[in-house]
A and B are shown apart, each in its own frame.
Chain A
Amino acid sequence: MSDDINFTSKTAADVVLKTEGDVSGGQHFGAGIDCDSPKLLVECHKLDLSGSAALASAGFNPALKRVPQMDVVSVPLNKRADFVPSWKPRRIPVKCIGLTLPEGLAFQPPAQPNETSSDGIVLNKPTPQKKPERLDENGKPQRTRVKPPPNALSLQDRLFYLLQPPLESWLAGQELIMPFEPFPYQYEGIAWMFARHSALLADEMGLGKTMQTITGIRLLLRSGQVNRILLICPKPLIPNWQREFRTWAEELPIVTVEGSGARRRMLWTMPGVPILITNYESMTRDLAEFSEEDAPKFDLLVLDEAQRIKNRDSRTAQVARGISRRRSWALTGTPIENRPEELASLFEFMEVIPAHATPDLRQLSALASEHILRRTKDLVMKDMPPRIDRDAELQLTDAQQYTYRTAEKEGIIQLNELGDSISVQHVFELVMRLKQITNYDPLTNESAKLERLVADMEEVAASGAKAILFSQWTKTIDWLEERLQQFNPLVYHGGVPTKKREPILKKFKEDPNANIILMSYGTGAVGLNLQFAHYVFLYDRWWNPAIEDQAINRAHRIGVTAPVIVTRFICKDTIEERIDRVLREKRELAEAILGEGDNDNISLGMNASEIFGLFDLKKRTPKGAAQSIGPVRPEAA
Chain B
Amino acid sequence: MSKDGHSDKLRLGFIATVEVEGRGCVGGLLVTNSNGRPLEFQCTTPVRPDRTQEILYGKMLRPWLLGELIGKTLLDRVSIKPDIVLTCDPDLLELRNHTSTPVACTSEDSERYGSGGRVTSSSEELGGRRLRFHLGHEDDSKFVKQQLHLIPGQADLEEPLERVQQALNETVKTVMTR
Contacts and interface: CB of A to CB of B under 8 A. Distances in A.
Interface residues on B, range: 35 or more
Interface stretch (A85-93, A292-300, A304-312, A371-379): A85-93
Interface of B: 8, 30, 32, 35-45, 47-50, 52-53, 56-57, 69-70, 73-74, 77-80, 152, 154-156, 159-160, 163, 166-167, 170-171, 174
A89 B54 CA distance: 10
A448 to B, nearest CB: 59
Given A110-B8, A163-B41, A165-B159, A90 B50 contact: yes
Contacts of B174: 155, 158
7 contacts: A90-B50, A97-B42, A97-B45, A162-B163, A165-B159, A165-B160, A170-B37
Given A89-B52, A96-B42, A99-B42, 6 more contacts: A96-B73, A98-B43, A98-B78, A100-B80, A101-B39, A169-B159
A223 interface: yes
Contact of B154 (A92, A169, A222): A169
Given A94-B73, A95-B45, A110-B8, A100 B40 contact: yes
Given A97-B45, A99-B40, A99-B41, A175 B35 contact: yes
Contacts of B50: 90, 92
Interface of A: 89-92, 94-101, 103-104, 110, 141, 143, 145, 148, 155, 158-159, 162-166, 169-170, 172-175, 222-223
A92 to B, nearest CB: 6
A97 B159 CA distance: 22
B99 to A, nearest CB: 15
Contacts of B80: 100
A157 to B, nearest CB: 11
A175 B37 contact: yes
Contacts of B77: 96, 98
Given A89-B56, A155-B170, A162-B166, A94 B152 contact: no
Contact of A223 (B37, B47, B70, B171): B37
A101 B69 CA distance: 25
Nearest to A156: B41
Contact of B171 (A90, A92, A143, A155): A155
Nearest to B36: A165
A159 B170 contact: yes
A163 B74 contact: no
Contacts of B166: 145, 162
A163 B44 contact: no
B114 to A, nearest CB: 23
A223 B37 CA distance: 8
